[in-house]
Amino acid sequence: MPILNTILELIGETPVVRINHLDTGPCELFIKLESQNPGGSIKDRIGLKMIEDAEAAGRIRPGSTLVEGTAGNTGLGLALVAAQKGYRLILVIPDKMSREKISNLKAMGAEVVLTRSDVAKGHPDYYQDLAKRLASEMDDAYFINQFGNPANPRAHEEVTGPEIWRQMDGDLDAIVLGVGSSGTVTGLSRYFAQHAPELELVLADPEGSILAEYINEGTLSTKSSSWLVEGIGEDFLPTISDFTRVSKAYAISDAESFKVGRELLTREGILGGSSTGTLLAAALKYCREQTEPRRVLTFCCDTGNRYLSKMYNDFWMRDQGFLEVTSH
């Protein structure tokens, strides 16, 4: 491998691995290790794209402050890029996020503002609304707004989609993915509409999110409930979202997400985060429902190193009721 000029050149070109030891029915299941990005998640891709697009458009300049509301991984991607380019970064984060993520963000130089995770969009303490307000109150500050920034889906339309299609040698029947900001689903929808219109997109959604009901029943609920899986699921439709090519959705419980995520480590040796468990659980359901062989891809969205105090901690799992207490 050649010597690279900067850590940012390592973003993308993540490997795809076959699932060998889990029941995938008649299907072949593959997982793309976005955890191998230098910042540890798929969000490195959009962090780079959104900052570089803002630079090209003249919205930011040396000395500008970047502000964003994030569940953690977008913040880590932004922190990686901002540190290399010399920008100050302020991140507003819901207080349910793992302490590993928060510590990681601070270690990378980001300024972290914690806010409530029990309030919905429109509340002044909702993390996106608070971030937008903070940016508006500062001089030379730019609100990145991943949920409404067209550079977000473009990163996946222009880079991730072609990368997947090339790695799979143009032989892929379905992709199972999650939605947070909706950049991945929107960008991949656009790419595959042009290059593989028969490819099926399937949503993995945490129970409590409004998106599975919206996809399966066409009903947009105004009420969501809470979930513990981090980084995916929503209580609103992001302005950049395009779900027109998503054929079906699976609502996955926290308990199943954490269980399957832990199985991915013990059976396949892949240390993924909580949302990876959600995606894999949905992908396994989809594969087992098929009557014909299909080639299916899903994502290891981020590294499980950020969840060692949660889903990989037996004491936390028992406290949440996800593991039975064994008596001796």
pLDDT per position as a tens digit, 105-132? 999 999 999 999 888 788 999 999 999 9
Q: Which residue has 């799992």 as its token pair?
A: 317
pLDDT of residue 100: 86
pLDDT score at 1? 79
- All structural domains of the chain: 7-38+155-317 (3.40.50.1100), 43-143 (3.40.50.1100)
pLDDT digits (tens, 9 = 90+) for 82-106: 999 999 999 999 888 888 889 999 9
310 annotated active-site = no
> Hey, how many other C-beta atoms are within 10 angstroms of the C-beta on 174?
23
The closest of 73, 93, 167, 178 to 134, measured between CA atoms, is 93
Helices (H), the chain: 43-56, 73-85, 99-107, 127-136, 151-155, 161-167, 183-195, 211-217, 254-268, 274-289, 314-319
Amino acid at 314: D
Q: Which residues contact 262 (CB under 8 A, 6 or more apart)?
A: 277, 311, 312
**pLDDT confidence of residue 119:** 86
Token output for 167: 């790695």
Half-sphere exposure of residue 195: CA atoms within 13 angstroms, side-chain side: 18
Give me the pLDDT at residue 122, please.
Answer: 87
pLDDT at 183: 97
Select which of 32, 43, 101, 310 is catalytic: 43
CA distances from 281 to 2, 150, 183, 203, 299 (A): 37, 30, 21, 11, 11
Q: What is the pLDDT of residue 118?
A: 86
Q: Which of 245, 258, 269, 240 is nearest to 312 (CA)?
A: 258
* pLDDT lower than 70: segments of the chain: 327-328
Residue-level pLDDT at 261: 98
Closest CA to 55 of 47, 43, 300: 47
**pLDDT at residue 117, as a whole number:** 86
Q: Which residue has the tokens 């072609």?
A: 162
Contacts of 46 (CB under 8 A, 6+ apart): 74, 77, 146, 151, 152, 155, 156, 181, 183
The pLDDT value given to residue 328 = 53
Q: What pLDDT does 324 receive?
A: 84
Residues 124/115, Cβ–Cβ less than 8 Å: no
What is the pTM (predicted TM-score) of this model? Answer: 0.94
